[in-house]
Structure 1
């Protein structure tokens, strides 16, 4: 996967291109709540928090949250947008989380695990920062459990390149179990429709998905031309909902 430098790419449009509606946020918060400890408040970490899609919603539902994000520009956008008193953003990454050991009740990694370069180190670091009985909410795609979006078929090599961005489920689990973690839940969450096909096309044009950074200019031009032709027939039709996988893990003793 070509590494994406969010300080020079995508940060200006990311919040708009990847925004979640309140209905979508409510569905995700309910899914998180189902696997988190029952006590409140909880101290949370949003690892790879980006422009803060989830951070304020997590704080509102569960308690204080620290967003950990390596990109300066993405953090700047998040800080401008967030007004929640229980949210803060800090520089860091999954491999180096700038909080004390055993200081958080949970960590969310939403659409960020595939960007982690040293995954074994990240698994150890995530275990360090969580308290006993804590939870890691890993919302990522897996090459063998993938919610293929409806628009992907219009891009040359779309399925091939998209699958190459993600590990199979068993590899991800092996990385964590080798670091002492255990799986507590694996489920799919049906995210509501993001709007109409026309709405989705406008957001896709912002090119804030990792896939688009991997395709060459000819593939992008061909794909968007085909997609525009398809959407033009029914621009007001609702975009399909997606059933997206979520893996929940609990840290243990490192072997």
Structure 2
């Protein structure tokens, strides 16, 4: 497990933060798969530093609950309070909300951290109102993107794939938990291209689970090669990759 109360928690905002325009693109994309009525109450499960929670409140005009097990990450989120957001300590396996209390659940790159994914999805079903929707924004082992920076770290793609389950496995868990998965995985493009320099600066903070799992002897040589490439072409725009998401519904 990644310790988000330690080093990762201290660099996460700088390494994984989102500009406001990117938050708006994400929340607008989520709205495509949620009911049109407003307000909608939303659970941001694994809300981390709250990079999306205020945007969810603005987009869906209801109460947003950010549930996060890391005290350090949650404290960071609480430094920027929003009247529509309540941050709560808790985990996916024990969500501190009543049954049928939210219209939507967002799991944004948090599902692979759930110690018990089936129990987490059962809890998601429990807190969803009938007809409510859960958005499982995750990587899946059988549809992994070929990220440009993998070339600097020979084990990175294999390490990343090992963190995630396949689409079929995720659907099977959701079905067992009482959620109905959509047939197709959704693809969303919400990021703007970053320059090579910007990409290096963000990744060099190692605010991604990948770098916690890479062999130690790959890290420094990899970042040295990455830095040298960034020095030669700092303003080159890097690829933008579509993000994968599985839409799950609690049957009415």
TM-score (norm 1): 0.94
Q: 1:136-175 to 2 correspondence within 5 Å?
A: 136-175=134-173
CA RMSD of aligned residues (A): 1.3
Distance, in Å, in 2 between the alignment partners of 1:148 and 1:76 is 34
Q: 1:179-218 to 2 correspondence within 5 Å?
A: 179-184=177-182, 186-218=185-217
Distance, in Å, in 2 between the alignment partners of 1:217 and 1:149 is 20
The verdict on how the C-alpha distance between 1:194 and 1:7 changes in structure 2, with shifts beyond 3 A counting, is farther
Does 1:33 pair with 2:31?
A: yes
Contact 1:197 1:231 in 2 (8 A): yes
Mean Cα deviation higher: 118-127 or 230-239? 230-239
Moved segments of 4+, more than 6 Å: none
Of 17, 20, 25 in structure 2, the residue corresponding to residue 19 of structure 1 is 17
Q: 1:47-86 to 2 correspondence within 5 Å?
A: 47-62=45-60, 63-80=62-79, 82-86=80-84
Distance, in Å, in 1 between the alignment partners of 2:230 and 2:100 is 49
Task: Give the equivalent residue in structure 2 for 1:5.
Answer: 3
Distance, in Å, in 1 between the alignment partners of 2:32 and 2:206 is 32
Secondary structure, aligned partner of 2:154: coil
Residue-by-residue CA offset, 1:56-109 (whole Å, 9 max, x unaligned): 0000110210100000000000000x2310111000111110010000000100
Distance, in Å, in 1 between the alignment partners of 2:236 and 2:82 is 35
Residue 194 of structure 1 deviates from its aligned partner by: 4.9
Residue 120 of structure 1 deviates from its aligned partner by: 1.0
Task: Give the equivalent residue in structure 2 for 1:247.
Answer: 246
Residue-by-residue CA offset, 1:19-69 (whole Å, 9 max, x unaligned): 112232222112101000111001110000000110000001102101000
Mean Cα deviation higher: 165-174 or 7-16? 7-16
Contact 2:57 2:85 in 1 (8 A): yes
Where does structure 1 lack aligned partners over 5 or more consecutive residues?
A: none
Distance, in Å, in 2 between the alignment partners of 1:232 and 1:165 is 31
Mean Cα deviation higher: 91-100 or 152-161? 152-161
Task: Give the equivalent residue in structure 2 for 1:89.
Answer: 87
Contact 1:67 1:89 in 2 (8 A): yes
Secondary structure, aligned partner of 2:242: strand
Distance, in Å, in 1 between the alignment partners of 2:143 and 2:218 is 25
Contact 1:146 1:244 in 2 (8 A): no
Where does structure 2 lack aligned partners over 5 or more consecutive residues?
A: none
Task: Give the equivalent residue in structure 1 for 2:225.
Answer: 226
Task: Give the equivalent residue in structure 2 for 1:100.
Answer: 98
Number of residue pairs aligned between Structure 1 and Structure 2: 250
Contact 2:42 2:63 in 1 (8 A): yes
